Structure 1
């Protein structure tokens, strides 16, 4: 029976693929670009190729074909829904709880559908100074994809698109405004920072250590100008000894920041060494308090921990995005050079998940948290965003991810005692994701 079901499923996919034209395949690629790796999508030549990738990533199976039904619904191929046992009405009824295409991707696709050839020419003219000189436009989807690759268009920043639409066709703004309203992207009337906000004064002299480092993370932090030192395969004793060594190093006085990134397994409030012995995260951080390490006093100390914090699995909770409101509170800060500071001031701890829960990783692309951290650093550091704003975006990124089964979620958790905004200097070079070697 199993072989028969698989054969019937493959026949369904083949028949659907045969009924989709080139424009449909381009639309499917675009709608799947948040689910499938961009390199994999670049090699797609047919709808069958996309279906194969979705099956491989467990987004699509004989037991669960809803994602394909959603995609066909989005590209208005309603007649093909019957081959999956769905109807237009049935898909609509389940989109709220089972839909996988993000509101951002839906908004962009809807725009592309309403951008005429004349509008496209006008938009390209307005953006000519921002587009590659030898780039050839094939469609509105191609243009939107390019703007995303150049970080001119993101889920949180649609300003460039908004400006050109105002000039070319104000009617297109309605789609963008609906998205912004649901996303909460309209400017708030409450100032979170004010004129009294202070920043740590940073140059390119950083200390940085890590445990079980990843090539992706190393490239990003070297791009940010950090002096990267890696220490793989550390036992619990090695970790403690390393912290003591770094605590006593004299060159901290010549540096203005200390960053430690640890990638390992873990339990509540602790991480494992390679000897499977636990080391308390608080013990690790205690080596760098103002009392224990005076040379780092009043300097920012950042810790990023990619590790599980328990064995529980977070389940999805479905909310009505239209009813979400932005709850902001005012923040005040004052500081005097003559005041004392708490012993544990100026720390930041970025945890991959909340206490008691597991963290997840993609089998090819790595952990959800590290992927999001690298992506948001490359996107937002050049814009001058501070680290807390960046980690808020990391939270949003990871929170939107879900296991292929749709039943497992993850929520990162930053905690901090920073007294000032922490802003990385903007690198002169393009981020690693835009360089030839890529990730």
Structure 2
């Protein structure tokens, strides 16, 4: 009996490992730094390696899985908590009493998630004398780990970190200050080396003649005593003439408000349309209508559309890996992926009725995993239920399991599914925990509304978030023929600029084909 329990436990750990990507493993290693020997952590290649170390140190066993639950909670893999018998809410209840991850680790990880690619470039530039001379690709977490190893940052010394964050983005300083207050660290003297210029002081503000001024468009200022509130006062009525032609910062910023969408090729659009399933999941009648509309509309918008029908969970992952390494992305403006399937919280079903994490799907296209799409917008539209099935009239079916079968509890939201990197948009057909509806002939409410609003509003020059707001309004007003079922879509995004499709020369497909 004990052998059966042990085997089942290890199977659960293996399933968790299979749903984690490289960035997740790196985050787990980071959170375990204070718990496991560093020499053993250095040899870790997978989540299973970490689980083995935790079990060897008696932090993890069949009877006590809370530490692993806390780690999954910290890296926002909430959909995996169910495999350990936890929910997001249950972990939060127990953290005060049983939590093992230090406030210091939490602070550094939160900081790493809030550092954008542009911020990271600036930080690396500022800290280049403390970083390896050879050219290597660093993530924000990698960079913080290097600073920690060199003794420049520690649990009782975050001054340099605070100074650098102030140079790059005062918003980042809030995270460090919150930690300083929580553990009662004293304020220290400014430790970040800067050069004073010959410009006169204005109150508490010094304008620094650091090399950063000539290489980035943001105005960096050194603020004595970290009084960020004085920034506005100090520059009030003051015109700054910066080297390199950056005198008009306002005009420069206006140029950066929209993504570049004027290349020779718009981009690729994948449409994964799962209609038929192997066992208990019902046929998704009407989904082919959605796939056809998506192909017509995105082709009209200038994308090269590729459609894949009835893909297993492994085939979906294989597709992501194939397109992740597709070299032609470098000549494209954007990337779009639409997935039509049954689903549960934070995941979609393959034809084989195995779940695939939405976060895992999207993580293939981060700047690190897919450099050709770095700093380019990546849009994902998911038409799938995210909660329990509902018995519906014959003409309207939920994209979920058949009634009576269990589903995952409310454990993840779109903002937690989306990669932490910039330039992603995730459009969900429904909010977490709820079904989405599909007419067996006309297709799904969400996809039909999306296609309709794109055709109506792209010619008017509307950006994608404005369009998705209109989609919310459209779907939110719809109701099933008995007047009892409603649905509300939910977008989440880390876009840094407005995403606006160029206006096509041809009329919309609805006009070409006589409407939907």
Give the TM-score of the pair, scaled to structure 2: 0.41
Give the TM-score of the pair, scaled to structure 1: 0.48
Q: Which protein, 1 or 2, shows the higher relative CO under an 8 Å CA cutoff with sep ≥ 6?
A: 1
